[in-house]
Structure 1
Amino acid sequence: MANIHTFLRSDPKLMPVNETEIQFFNKLKLYHSLVKAYEDFRLQEMARGLVPWKQMTITAINKMLKIRQTLKNSGQDCGTDSKDILLIDLLEWYKNEFFEWFDCAVCDKCNKKTTNPQNVSPNEDEMRWSAMTVELYSCADCGREYRFPRYNSAEKLLTTRRGRCGEWANCFTLLCRAMNFSARLVVDWTDHVWTEVYSDAQKRWLHCDPCEGICDSPLVYECGWAKKLTFCIAFAVNEVQDVSWRYSKDHPALRQRRALMCREEWVANVLDKMTANLWLAFSPELKEQLKLRRLLEFVEFLRVPNQSSSVKDDEHKGRQSGSQAWRLARQEISDQELTNHYVFELSDNNVNPTLITYNSAADEYRFNSKILKSWKNCVFESENIMRKVEKDWKMSYLSRNESNAIQTGRIKWKLNLKSDVKWSEMRITIKCKVFENGFIRLYVYSTEDNRLEMKPNTENIFKRSEVPLTGDIIIEAILDGGTGSTGWQHSQLFRQSLSDESE
């Protein structure tokens, strides 16, 4: 849209009639200009070079094979592919390892958080990276000042790797394009930003919020955050689309709020005209492909009058619909259906004493001299368990999955003592942390009717001559209790600082 006035005057229906509509149109121009950078081949190459995409791709393929094996005898179509799983892994890596949330500046001299930021104008270098405003922080103790430019340049964000929702979504959408996903930047007019990625296997757009590390949970803002949404507009180099309907279950209320801002017909006309202009240079084949996508998306938005959308408990954090394979990939249904049934095999060939440890900061096990990555890879069975990384508090631990409802979590590890193993004593220590009324029960047993309860944060010693532990031994932790929307967080295993990877 090189000539905005020509664009608006091309059709009387496109002319804004009030200041709100003028601001709305200016915002459309701004964000569509921003997403054009994602198609820069040089920038995509730079972004791809920062992603461990080869290992991620191999891991996604292996996960997909495992899911297919799980569903093999169920008679169900898979409904997803390894690229969808790659997206989930990219989202997790981005949140936990690549980008950081910026709350406020910390004084490097006093090691204290600064307060009372002021908005100031960007300097020449900051403007070069599309910063339109700068937050200026000052230390109350020593007076030092710290600048936080709100960069809009995705290229600059590849270097700074910190910010709030705008920076997070901007950079993540670039990485998605660099990984050859069809991706759109979604701007919520009530002040949030996220990404949508198109799934070729599922033939629909998937909501991805990199700040939250959630995928395919579009009702989280309305049902979980209690946001009163108005307009959610998706921007890509080839379209500008109103996707607000995906993020609300109460369309009549949504329409009422929107009517106070802009005319519905005017918004639809402007977006259709912008997209039509973008399609002018496309081949007939590409146009048909994009038309089909839009048609399927419009069908997805339809609601039967007076029909309410049911929201399951997890929809308050994220939805649970989708194929079984997709839900398995997102770990939304029982992990027991995807258990590794991993067994630590102990024999007289092992070193003496045999040592098995888990480090949540590094997310790895040590089995004598072996290093085994990822908590779930060495689990025999688990249900409603995840690894939580708190980037702001710089802590990690195993907990229950995030949910508004208080649900039990279980995790089991299995040791196989070969018949030739000669052992006299077993020592087990499991670090636990509970808050509010959360609690954790720990057990070790060979058979269910011979459970031995263990104490948390204590070295539990079992002598072979005194306990019925032979053959296969199960170590089990049951997480329960907690109150409120963060109750899932009130019982934790292996909590430790992210800086303590040597523990």
Structure 2
Amino acid sequence: MVCIRAEKQAEMEIAPSAESVEEIIKPVALPPLVQTYSNPFLRRIEMYAHNVLQYEDKNLRGRCRKLIPVTLLEYNAQERLRSIQKLSKKDKLLDVDVSLQDMIILELLSWFKNYFFTWVDCMECKHCGGETAFSHMSTDPKLLVYTERIELHRCRSCHEFTPFPRYTDLNILLETRRGRCGEWANTFTLCCRAMNWDARFVVEENDHVWTEVYSITQKRWLHCDPCENICDTPLIYETGWNKNISYVIAYSAEEVQDVTWRYSSNHKEVLKRRKNCLEAELLDALLEIRDKKQKELSESRKEYLTKRMLMEVVEFLVEKKPNDVDNKGRISGSAAWKLTRGEIQSEVKSHIWSIHSNYIGDSKTVTIKYCCSQDKYECSADSISINGMDWSSGAFSHESVFRKVEEDWKMAYICRKDGEEKGTLTWKLDVGSNQRGLKSLDVFFDYTTFENGAVDVTICSEHACYILPKGEKQISLSEMQAAREITITAVLKGGKGDCAWQHAQLFRQHLDSSEYPFSITLTFE
């Protein structure tokens, strides 16, 4: 299948040039890896425990921090926290055990998933732009630059090969910003450390990785999967993905911890599958590696880590059961924390554009328009941008859609969320208080589709509904004279393959554009 993200991809670089690496990328200097175990599983644990030391490099963390929109994330987190506090007072919830840090974690996940990193699955042929499929791993030393793993994908049309480098060097990943779960979790864990949070790189033996972040307020580790943009749903893999969990190990510069029990609701079955080594051997190895990592730490820090580890072990003693399979492995928790994960519906701020008589000048028209590249609305009635009103705050309602910014291709558009069959977005206008009487309504609605993606646009008053004809992007209606309320609704659906969610896009435009791909013009008597 061919993933059409925005436009045809440019030819993929095998690796950054030597000049760019020398000038921009300074590899993290880690101490030599000394492996002491003969068991392959324990040797892998040693390797991961060594590799996570790169997260502590000050230059790397500083470079990463500059790429994160910290101020914006903090602002959004404060708004989210205020909403929770307001709801907790309204419903008299007494267990609001979340903090600003918890909210920023959620905002960082969303930003990383929707704006910063790109998933690479189905490749586009760099020779003809055709569909490719994985063929084999390269052994060509000329290709193996800055990585030991290069996938070769063969084109189904021209049969040429396109390489996909699997980088592990975080300096390079901060440049390429693409990959699969390994690259995603590796880079996201670095982002968390750049935010000065205690974070761990988590490896599940059946081929998946993610991150854990320690919540200071809740005094526990939170599961964070940047690929899925999910937080604190550790049973998703066993319950929602039907994975047979066996070993899940978490790694940081200070610790190595067996966290398998957090990710399973059936510990006895898990024990039956753990055959890589004796349990006593695993425990001894983890304690030995942990002691080496903490050798240079202060006594107070060691004491803190020991107390935190003991609290975590106590948590593992109780099996947690999923109470809602439809929500992909949700576990019990405080009401406020469920709210942050969408398990309790927050108050929806519905915006209605009220058109009053005193807005209308000599032109007898009012135009409301939206620029996706700048994410702002403008109303011609006062000829100024409406401060603080982004795509969602100017909408009456929306479900399963978001504004996507592709930093690599410099494009912005609104599409449905990954994994959702459809997304909806509605705007509402109140013209009933206007004494002049509505003469006509003109709507310009730009959209882009790929494969079999589709966008259905409906314009309704309380008397009738009109459908924007297929392939058309503009409609003029003179049958709205008696209307008091008008709604415009777009439904995004269809698409093929893993990128189906991107195959129906609203208001797609280049980030440098100042055009308005969506406009509503009302003409009055």
TM-score range relative to shorter protein: 0.7 to 0.9
Q: Does 1:280 align with 2:280?
A: no
Instruction: Give the aligned partner of residue 120 of structure 1.
Output: 139
Matched, 1:56 2:73: yes
Change beyond 3 A, Cα 1:295–1:112: same
Q: Which of the numbers 333, 338, 359 marks the counterpart of 1:349?
A: 359
- Given candidates 416, 423, 434, the residue that maps to 2:430 is 416
Match of 2:54 in 1: 37
CA contact (8 A) 2:237 2:263 kept: yes
Q: CA deviation at 1:163?
A: 1.5
Cα shift readout 1:25-77 (whole Å, capped 9, x = no counterpart): 11111111111011111111111111111222222223322332232222224
Deviation at 1:24, TM superposition (A): 0.9
Deviations 1:427-463 (A, max 9, x none): 5677899999x99895745xxxx56444355747364
- Pair 1:248-2:264 in alignment: yes
1:101-160 residue CA offsets vs partner (Å, 9 max, x unmatched):
223553434222444243326569834xxx232234565766765443322221221112
**Helix, strand or coil for the counterpart of 1:354?**
strand
Residue 3 to residue 454, structure 1, CA distance change in 2 (3 Å): closer
Aligned to 1:12: none
For residues 134 and 285 of structure 1, do their structure 2 counterparts lie closer, same or farther at Cα, with a shift above 3 Å needed? same
Residue in structure 2 matching 1:94, options 88, 98, 112: 112
Please state how far the C-alpha of 1:481 moved relative to its aligned partner: 11
Contact persistence 2:77–2:104 (CA under 8 A): yes
1:110 equivalenced with 2:120 (yes/no): no
3-state SS, counterpart of residue 187 of structure 1: strand
For 1:85, what is the secondary structure of its paired residue? Answer: helix
CA–CA distance in structure 2, aligned partners of residues 356 and 430 of structure 1: 12
Q: Distance in 2 between matches of 1:323 and 1:421?
A: 52
3-state SS in 1 of match to 2:224:
strand
Question: Which segment drifts farther, 390-399 or 99-108?
Answer: 390-399
| Partner amino acid, structure 1, of 2:56 | E
Residue aligning to 1:292: 307
**Count of residue pairs the alignment pairs up:** 464
CA distance in 2, matches of 1:150, 1:493: 29
Q: What is the percent sequence identity of the aligned residues?
A: 32
Q: CA separation in 1, counterparts of 2:169 and 2:249?
A: 20
Residue 312 of structure 1 deviates from its aligned partner by 0.7
Q: Which amino acid aligns with 2:128?
A: C
Q: Is residue 2:313 matched to residue 1:301?
A: no
Following the alignment from structure 2 to structure 1, what is the Cα–Cα distance between the partners of residues 59 and 501?
46
Q: Which amino acid aligns with 1:83?
A: Q
Normalised to the residue count of structure 2, the TM-score between the two structures is: 0.74
Distance verdict in 2 for CA 1:397–1:333, change over 3 Å: farther
CA distance in 1, matches of 2:162, 2:459: 51
Question: Aligned partners of 1:2, 1:379: CA distance in 2, in Å?
Answer: 56
| Residue of structure 1 equivalent to 2:103 | 85
Aligned pairs for 1:342-491 (under 5 A) are: 342-347=351-356, 348-349=358-359, 353-357=365-369, 365-368=377-380, 370=385, 374-381=390-397, 385-387=400-402, 397=414, 399=416, 413-417=427-431, 418-420=433-435, 422-427=437-442, 444=460, 450=462, 452-455=464-467, 457=469, 459=475, 461=477, 463-465=479-481, 467=482, 469-470=483-484, 473=485, 475=487
Q: CA deviation at 1:4?
A: 5.1
1:161-215 deviations in Å (ceiling 9; x for gaps): 1221111111111111001121100011111111111111222211111122222
Rounded to whole Å, the distance in 2 between the matches of 1:3 and 1:481 is 50
Provide structure 1 residue ranges, at least 5 long, that are not aligned to the other structure: 9-14, 17-21
Structure 1 490/284 Cα, relative in aligned 2: closer, same or farther at 3 Å? Answer: closer
The CA deviation string for residues 232-289 of structure 1, in whole angstroms up to 9 with x for no partner, is 110000100111111122222211111x322122212211222233223323332332
- C-alpha change, 1:191 and 1:55, in structure 2 (3 Å) is same
Range that drifts further, 391-400 or 86-95? 391-400
Query: Which of the residues 176, 189, 213 maps onto 2:192?
Result: 176
Q: Say whether residues 1:313 and 2:325 are aligned partners.
A: yes
- Residues of 2 paired with 1:491 and 1:170: CA distance? 25
Q: Is the 8 A contact 2:235 2:322 kept in 1?
A: no
* Contact 1:340–1:378 under 8 Å retained in 2: no
Q: Which residue of 2 aligns with 1:234?
A: 250
Q: Structure 1 residues 70 and 413 mapped into 2: Cα distance closer, same or farther (>3 Å)?
A: farther
**Mind listing any 5+ residue stretches in structure 2 that lack a counterpart?**
1-30, 518-525
User: RCO (CA 8 Å, sep 6+): is it higher in 1 or 2?
Assistant: 2
DSSP 3-state at the match of 1:249: coil
